Structures are given as structure tokens and as C-alpha cells.
Structure 1
Amino acid sequence: MSNHMWMGYGFIAAVTLAFAWLTAMPRNISAKRWHYAHAAIPLAAVLAFAVTPLAARATAQMFLSCGILILALVTLSWMVGQTLRNHSIMDIAYPIIIASVAGYALAHSASGLSAHAVTLFALVALWAARLIAHTASTNFQVEQEPYASLRRRFGAHWPIWSFFSVYVLQGTILWMWCLSIVLGMSATQGSFSVLDGYAVLVWLTGFSFQAVGDWQLRRFKLDPANAGKLMQQGLWALTRHPNYFGEALMAWAYFLFALQHSWGWAGLISPLYVTWFMGFGSAAPGNERHMRKTRPEYEAYAARVPKFWPRLPFLRR
């Protein structure tokens, strides 16, 4: 397909998706600007493709192709969620989607099955496998919050609005997250570099925060003696959101892999967005609002423990 056809079809698809998304948006929601901004992202990506230099055009095409793949996978996930009447399966689907993008990019990697590309894919696959195992044990059984509350709130409009507000929205977010991965896979330099070594160390640190934090919280909740109590131990004594911090740190690791690409600096969008989303834009603030309403002791905990960036024990006064 020629570049002009990519731009033409991409522009039509992006405008159509944004129009359908915003038309389906209920009038009584408070996060309209959130949806306006994310509905514009596919159109912005197509317009960016139009001005992409020839040297980076193949990578830009790969990124647009991954967007199409993500749209297909979130649509399939929505169909499954509709059938099961359980849209919390999106929490299981999203690591599968990112791993699928990484696999697709690996299959079309400019350096083939190089040490650089295979290492990047292996890290993404390991992250995805752990997260799938972590969420599948609960999310398949019954629809989790906030999805269950949203179903009750929107009633008959939920089937169509869930497609956009849960699946297309998160698909757009994941597309932004994957930019660094696509750039890393598209690098022509395939050898394992010193920078890749640093990236692995950053990734292992982030993965440890997320995996150990989740494990500590799960073990805490399984103990009947902790019923109604607030987790304040282990990594949760260093940061109120070790799992979200770990996710952001892994995004920075993928960016370091992307720097093997001559246009890798453009991947800075991914870790900046993930860090903002996890710590300040959506994930942590949403969890904080819930915890402050349901846990009276949370205020004292918040006054003592940092929200996002960990305070290491040896730095405490």
C-alpha cells in the first residue's frame, strides 16, 4: 500500500472512529475532556505520519499497523465481555494486546530475531504472562469494579458505551504505550548494547516493584486477620502505589530499548504518558479517591508515605 493510501484510509478511519466515539458519549459524564483528547489521538497519529521523514516512514507504518491490530483485538475483547456480561475481562486482555503488538513487531523487526529484539520481546512477554495470571483468577469469575458500577449507571446504553469508554479508550492508551516497543523492534542495530543492559536493569527494578507489590497485597488480603485493614507494609511502606510505579519504570526501560533506533527519541512520548497516567492522571488518583472514601486510616497513611515516587529507607530522616 502506498503512503498516500495509508494516509487516505487512515484519515477516514480516524475521523469515523472519533465521530462514532463522541456521538456515543452520554451527556451526563464528567470526563468529557478525557474522551475528546483520546478520540483525537488516532487522527493526530495519521497527521504525524503525513509529515514523517522518509527515513522513519517504515517505522511509522508499523506503528499504524499496530494501531489496526489493537483496534481488532479490543473489538474482539468487547465481544467476549458482552457475551460474558463481564467487561472486567479488559484487565486480562490488555497485557495480551501489548504482548501481541510486541510479537507482531518482532515478526517484522528490521534486525530480525536479533539479541536486542528478542530480549525486548521476552521482557514484554514475561510482564504480560504475570499480569494475566494475576488478574485472571478474579476477573473471570465476576465483573469487578469499576465496571460493575458503570453497568448499573449507564443501563441500556452500557453495551455501546462500554465499547468506547472501556475498550477503544484503553486501546488508544495502549497504542501510546507501545510506541517505544515498536521503535525498539524497528531498530536496525540488532546487537545487545550497553544501553540495552541498562534497560534490562531498569525493567527488572520496575517488574520487581509491580510483581512483589501485587504479591504482598494479595497475601495481605488473604489473611482473615487483615479484614478491613489497610496494607502499609513491605513496598507499600515506600510508596502508596508500588505496582503503578513499577509499570511506569518498565515503560522507561522500553524507551531505552527504543534509543537503538535513529528516531528512538520520539518514543519519549510513551514513558512520559505512562508515568503521568499511572501516577497523576488516572490510575493512582482513581484509587486514591476510592481509598479515602472507604478507609478512614488512609489520610494518616497518605501523610506518611509518598504517593508515587518511593522514599527509600536509607533516605528517610
Structure 2
Amino acid sequence: MSLTEIAALLGLNLALIVVVMVGLWTVSLRLKDVSFIDAVWPMGMLLLALATFPRTEGDPIRKWLLLWLVGVWALRLGWHLFRRWRAHGADGRYVDLLGRLERTRGMGFGKAALLAVFLPQAVLAWLTSLPVQLGQVALEPAIGWIGWIGAGLAVIGIGFESIGDAQLTAFRKDPANKGKVLDTGLWRWTRHPNYFGDACVWWGLYLIAAETGPGVWAIAGPLFLTFTLTKWSGIGITEKAIHGTRPGYADYVRRTSAFIPWPPKKA
């Protein structure tokens, strides 16, 4: 594909995800809750991969590999987050965000939800999913050892994230653990195994895409995701909320790696 054709492909994909997010925004107006956006996030990236698939003539093995990996990741994570939303209701992070915009900017729920949640999520999902868009463009070269390493990394990431989520879900279901800190299993080695797994998935997808010329430029996707998880809306916001509800969390932070799995420090 020429640069003009690639630009048109990406532009149409961006328009598609914006339209989808605006449609979901209208749903949030009826629910008075935007928290389901977390479950939509991975499904939006799968949608972009699916929309790209029939419009490109890249290496078939690479295209199918990207599509299957992002599909397994998105369906597993999306269902997990949807069930969490249904079980726990509105997410305090979004309640605080929209409330702050109402107090400081005078925005009503609808305007704040559109401008601060749904439209930004559309652009960020499009950006993060560049590997599964640009990775499908080029026919040559065929997938090589870098791509297969990337596939292995993505599989490890899906497994790591899935196990971490399952351990946390089981921990929360036990009434005896109320107010306690999960520091066993994968959570002994990293405070955020789900975030680390997420990053592995998208760096793996990038390696599959990066064997092609257009795919090299998709590095903006995993870079942005890693920044988001470690410096922006991931670890910082999550841990700020936890510190106030679990007395032992400060000690857990001192001995446990924030992101990359690492042997815990001695107390």
C-alpha cells in the first residue's frame, strides 16, 4: 500500500472508533455512568483490527496472528472488566473525574463524559492499536524470528494478566480478606501483574508488526500504553485510592516492585 492509502486506512479507522464511542456515549447518558468504558477499551482495539483485515493485503500469517492474539486478549479482558463493572457499579475514578469537571468547569454530565472520557478513549484506543493496524499492511517480508518472539511475548502477557486477574478476583471473594492486601501469587512479585501483562501483549504485537516497514512506526502504540500504565492513569491513580483503604499497603509498596516482576525485598 502507498503512504496515501495507509493514511486513508488509518483515517477511516479513527472515524470508525469515534462514531462507535459517540454511540456508546449516548448509552452512558441513559445509565448516568461511564464506567463500562473500561470493558469497551479492549473491544475497540479488536474492532480496529477486524476493520483493517479485509482492507489490506499483507502477509496472511502475520495478519491472522495479529488478529487472533488481539482477539483472545480483548475478549478475555473485555468480559472480565464487564463483569467487574456489573458487580461493583460505578468506578470511583470516573465519578471523581466527572464531579471535578462539574465543580471546576461547570460541565454537565453529558458534556464531561463526551469530552473527558469517550472522545479521548477513541483516540487513545486508535493510537494504542497501531501495531494491529499497520502490521497488516505490508505483504513482505514474511513473518520471521522477531515476529515469533513477539507472538510468544504476547501469549505470556495474556497468561500473566489472566492469572493475576483470577488471583485478585478469588482474593476479593473471600470475606476474610476484607481490608487486607493481596501479596501472594503473581502479586508477590509485582503490584500490578495485570498492567505488566497488558504491556507484554502490546509490545509482543508490536514486534510482530515491526518486521514490516509500516509496522516499525507503530511503536507509538506500546510506548503510549506503557506510559499510561506506569506514569499516567494506571499505577498512580489506582494506588492513590488503595492507600486510604488498606493500612498494610504502604509496607507492600516498600517491598514489592511496582511493575516489572522482581523478587520482593525483605521486610
The normalised TM-score by structure 1 is 0.77
Matched, 1:134 2:85: no
The one-letter code sitting in structure 2 at the alignment partner of 1:135 is L
**What secondary structure, in the 3-state scheme, does the structure 1 residue paired with 2:171 have?**
helix
Write the letter of the residue equivalent to 2:217: A
Partner of 1:257: 208
Opposite residue 154 of structure 2, the aligned amino acid is W
1:124 aligns with 2:70: yes
1:180 and 2:131 are equivalent in the alignment: yes
Task: Output the aligned Cα RMSD.
Answer: 2.1
Q: How does 1:98-247 map to 2 (within 5 A)?
A: 98-111=45-58, 114-140=60-86, 142-153=89-100, 154=102, 157-189=108-140, 191-247=142-198
1:116 and 1:190 in contact (8 A); partners too: no
Does the 8 Å contact 1:117/1:190 carry over to 2? no
Q: Distance in 2 between matches of 1:196 and 1:180?
A: 12
Q: For residues 302 and 79 of structure 1, what CA distance do their matches in structure 2 show? A: 40
- Please give the alpha-carbon distance, in whole angstroms, between the structure 1 residues aligned to 2:243 and 2:182: 13
After superposition, the C-alpha distances for 1:85-135 in whole angstroms (9 at most, x for unaligned) are: 2211111211221110000011212227x1210111011111111012101
Answer whether contact 2:153 2:200 (CA < 8 A) is retained: yes
Structure 1 position 220, deviation (Å): 0.3
Q: Aligned-pair distance for 1:281?
A: 2.2
Deviation at 1:291, TM superposition (A): 1.6
Flag the structure with more relative contact order, 1 or 2, with Cα contacts below 8 A and sequence separation at least 6: 2
Q: Identical aligned pairs, as a percentage?
A: 27
- 1 CA distance for matches of 2:97 and 2:263? 38
What is the distance in 2 between the residues matched to 1:96 and 1:271?
17
Q: Do the aligned partners of residues 140 and 80 (structure 1) sit closer, same or farther apart at CA in structure 2, a change above 3 Å counting?
A: farther
CA offset digits 1:36-68 (Å, max 9, x no partner): xxxxxxxxxxxxxxxxxx943322221121111
Q: Is the 8 A contact 2:137 2:214 kept in 1?
A: no
Aligned-partner Cα distance in 1 for 2:86–2:95 = 13
Residue type of the partner of 1:176? L
CA–CA distance in 2 between the matches of 1:143 and 1:301?
27
1:271 partner amino acid? P
Query: Alpha-carbon deviations, 1:8-46, whole Å to 9, x = none?
Result: xxxxxxxxxxxxxxxxxxxxxxxxxxxxxxxxxxxxxxx
User: Could you report, residue by residue, the CA deviation over 1:283-311 in whole angstroms, capped at 9, with x for unpaired residues?
Assistant: 11111211222222111111100111111
Count of residue pairs brought into register by the alignment? 261
Amino acid in the other structure paired with 1:208: G
SS of residue matched to 1:240 = coil
- Whole-angstrom CA distance in 1 between matches of 2:226 and 2:96: 27
Once the two structures are superposed, the pairs formed by residues 73-84 of structure 1 within 5 Å of their partners are: 73-84=20-31
Correspondent of 1:96 among 43, 62, 87: 43
Structure 1 window deviating more from structure 2 (184-193 vs 229-238): it is: 184-193
How many Å separate the matches in 2 of 1:183 and 1:130?
23
Distance 2:239 2:29 in 1: 29
1: CA distance, partners of 2:224 / 2:173: 33
8 Å CA contact 2:143–2:208 kept in 1: the answer is: no
Structure 2, unaligned runs of 5 or more: none
Partner of 2:228: 277
Partner Cα separation in structure 2 for residue 237 and residue 160 of structure 1: 41
Q: Is the 8 A contact 1:59 1:182 kept in 2?
A: no
Q: TM-score, normalised by structure 2?
A: 0.90
The answer to whether structure 1 residue 61 and structure 2 residue 16 are counterparts is no
Q: Which amino acid aligns with 2:76?
A: R
Contact 1:187 1:258 in 2 (8 A): no
What is the aligned partner in structure 2 of residue 46 from structure 1? none
The 8 Å contact of residues 150 and 205 in structure 2, kept in 1 or not, is answered as: yes
Structure 1 residue runs without a partner (length 5+):
1-53
What letter is aligned with 1:107?
P
Q: Match of 2:108, SS?
A: helix
